[in-house]
Amino acid sequence: MVKKAVFAGGCFWCMVKPFEEQPGIISVTSGYTGGHVPNPTYEQVTTGLTGHTEAVEIQYDPDIISYEQLVDIYWQQTDPTDALGQFADRGDSYRPVIYYGDEEERAIAEKSKQQLQDSGRFTQPIVTKIEPRTTFYPAEDYHQDYYKKNKLHYQLYREGSGRASFLRKHW
């Protein structure tokens, strides 16, 4: 059985590789979710007027990797204390969100968020939203597997945006 998970953590280019490298992951697709415009384009989403976030949809085998493990991986790719975007990417379309598909996933995400808050790892509150999953729209082809197709630009962006140094420092 294949299951789906959807996470928003800023630029979707940087959210693909950490999941794709895990055993049990079937596919990771960059796209848009959470908004009110059907089939949005990248240009529309980046205006902040569609309500969508850049996100990744992960298809996985729950017999090999659990939703709880996916949530743990998710936290380690983000700054969970920044509700207004992630790293150099600012605005609603880059906000951090865990999108749950059912009550079990919601409970796992909420418990994990509380554990992270209680851990003391961060001095500021954990502000990542946990919201019901809605329609996921795959992004344009040039956004898919960006880290593979544009290795140098991806590396420069990951470092230049501040994501890589933050993750090294906090995770």
Tens-place pLDDT, residues 126-145: 999 999 999 999 999 999 99
Sign of the alpha-carbon torsion through 74, 30, 26, 62: positive
Phi then psi for residue 58, to 5 deg, are: -110, 125
For residue 68, the SS3 value is helix
| Dist. CA 128–CA 51, nearest whole Å | 16
Q: Is the pTM of this model over 0.75?
A: yes
- Please give the C-alpha separations between residue 147 and each of 18, 36, 81, 153, in angstroms, as whole numbers: 11, 28, 25, 8
Domain 1-168 sits in CATH at 3.30.1060.10
For residue 8, the SS3 value is strand
| Identified catalytic residue from 5, 8, 11, 108 | 11
By residue count, the chain amounts to 171
**Catalytic site includes residue 11:** yes
- Per residue in 64-110, pLDDT tens? 999 999 999 999 999 999 999 999 999 999 999 999 999 999 999 99
